[in-house]
Amino acid sequence: MKILLTAFEPYEQWPENSSWLALVDLMREGSLCFDLVTRRYPVELPVLRERLYADLQQGFDAVLHMGQAPGTPVVKLETVAVNFAGRVENCGEELSEVLENGPAAYRSKLPLGNWANLLRENSIPAVVSYHAGTFLCNATLYLSLHYGRTMRHATNVGFIHLPLTTKQVASAALNMPSLPVEVLASAVRLLIDDLCSSSSAFSEGDSLADHRKSYSNRSSAEVERENV
DSSP bridge partners of 40: 7
Is residue 137 among the annotated active site residues? Answer: yes
Residue 122 CA to residue 120 CA, distance in Å, equals: 5
Residue 89 CA to residue 152 CA, distance in Å, equals: 36
Look at residues 54, 46, 73 and name the one whose alpha carbon lies nearest to residue 6: 54
Q: If you write DSSP's letter for every residue of 24-39 in order, what string do you get?
A: HHHHHH---SSEEEEE
Residue 150 CA to residue 145 CA, distance in Å, equals: 9
Contact 195, 3 (CB under 8 A): yes
Q: How many CB atoms lie within 10 A of CB 149?
A: 16
Active-site pick, 137, 146, 153, 196: 137
Q: How many CB atoms lie within 10 A of CB 165?
A: 25
Active-site pick, 65, 146, 153, 161: 161
Residue 213 CA to residue 78 CA, distance in Å, equals: 24
Active-site pick, 78, 146, 153, 196: 78
Catalytic positions: 78, 137, 161
